[in-house]
Structure 1
Amino acid sequence: MVDANQLRQWGRNVIDIERNALDNLYQYVDSLEFVKACQLILSCTGKVIVMGMGKSGHIGNKISATLASTGTPAFFVHPGEASHGDLGVLSENDIVLAISNSGEASEILTLMPVIKRMGLPVIAVTGKPESSMANHAVVHLCIEVPEEACPLGLAPTSSTTATLVMGDALAVALLQARGFTKDDFALSHPGGSLGRKLLLKVSDVMHKGDELPQVSQNICITDALYEISKKGLGMTAVVNDDGQLAGIFTDGDLRRVIDAEVNLRTTSISEVMTHGCVTVSDGILAAEALKVMDEKEINGLIVTNKQQQPIGALNMLDMVKAGVI
């Protein structure tokens, strides 16, 4: 049985070595080559084609995904598959971002004559400034590390971490240079929680038309309860004779009415409804409506137009279903 403290120490050693590798990376981000790489990609009217073999390929896949989601069109192309047709994805306005710690990945070097014949600039990301890939490139981003965290010096560890961080540094620098915003991010992530929070509006979530619970202020409580039960939102809007919102009646109001032993059949809903209820417009973000509910400690909202007429309603369950929460 291996000693628990020894296991912890081995884990800490890895973190220390990789932290040192990242400290070493500052000099390469501070270099003119990093600036050239950013400027080259910013001027690109096509795509960034990312390539890498083995562990570098896994890191490259993540880098291409990060670039694509932060405003830089990018695709990962496996070098092995590229030799058998996938190179067709390249177009004349693209840039190739080639990744290899040794800078001697034969699968990538095999493609260099074709890439050069197409006139595509290559940004090489390697740990060897004098490598073949670095010599083929117009820009070289160095990710050389003092040592791998693997005690055998064989498994890519510190080098893959450095490559990943270099890719993130590149992507985020480009993001800021482009003025990329949260709204831009949301448009490329419509299925994610952030995308839903930044894209979904109240109009997308609310119940409207026949689904909107609404009663006249002149009816009795019993009739209002029928509307609440029928629409299933735990509340109903109450309108005046002009169709404007006069108040709201909720399940909570009903409990208070029952405690007060009010006659449900003879008492008008206008006598027990909540006046001056909180409302929102249908044009605001659903996330903003959720914030209103949280701040006011309420479970539902009536949506009104400029004439203060109810046009929709929503509750906390709608927010959950829409993925806003």
Structure 2
Amino acid sequence: MHRPLLKLPSWLPVDGYILALVGTVALAALLPARGPAATVAGGASTAAVALLFFLYGARLSTREALDGLRHWRLHLTVLVCTFVVFPLLGLAARLLVPTVLPPSLYTGLLFLCLVPSTVQSSIAFTSIARGNVAAAICAGSFSSIVGIVVTPLLAALVLGSGGGGFSADSLLSIVCQLLLPFGAGQLLRRWVGDFIARHKRVLGYVDRGSILLVVYTAFSAGMVQGIWHQVSPLRLLCLVGVEAVLLATMLTGTSYGSKKLGFGRADRIAITFAGSKKSLAAGLPMASVLFGAQAGLAVLPLMLFHQMQLMVCAVLAKRYAKRPDPEATDAGHGGAAPDPTGATGPGDGVSALPSGARR
């Protein structure tokens, strides 16, 4: 797991990487890239996204992913939660426009419901809660792979040409900037996999630096075009409330739903954490491609939801860990998680978890 960019006090329940993102947004607000600088930043952002997904493809062990298919019921449950239940809840939130949410923030909320699940944070919380870590690794990896294809297709279906700039050209850009680099990483894994494993700490900074560059470019474009005048502090507060309800609904649904489906305790924990969260690492690059200059507002709900899910799930994981486990006879479902960087993609900002959630 990547070391945090910022080392925070253990009592501070704020993800250090989120603070880095907030600082990047502030920098874009004060010194947005304009003119030739915007062109250079845009080109660098495009290259960074391609590099990000190349590294993701090169890290992912195809053999481990195929082995994980044996637990197909669990993975299918997570995929349904991520790409069916979440989008349906997002579509239902359309009833809140315009009384609670303006159309610009609703578009970002709906996009949030379309992105894949987290990888590293799902693994970390599942490990803390003594759940099925191996299943969390595979479920997060499958969700990320499926999301590279499904998220743009769902965006085309539910957002359409009027959804913040989405178009057929955006879909083509997704293929060129995400799918092709990911496929190249998989093809070249045989030759570059060992190098990436040896330098995973340094490349972790490349991952996060790439995402910060994407955020800076997106928010700079928003500042130049004046899109931030569309949102008031009261609307942002309403957005936080809506996302709190969304997270509570998914946590409750995955927990009780997996129990009704007959999964054991360890599997239910993995489903709860993998099926209720969304990936900032995957969502930000996709939004920059799909929404262009409108990406700043489009990713704001995702950034808020990401921090909220880390804080809530850290508390939830500790509570799971304190409960007696009647199924503790299977040693494979407990203990510390293996290093996920060999089987997962870009980090999800869990290096600076709240107190008690650090690994």
> Which category of TM-score, normalised to the shorter sequence, fits these structures?
under 0.3
Query: Which protein has the larger Cα radius of gyration, Structure 1 or Structure 2?
Result: 1
Q: Which has the higher strand share?
A: 1
Q: Which has the higher helix share?
A: 2
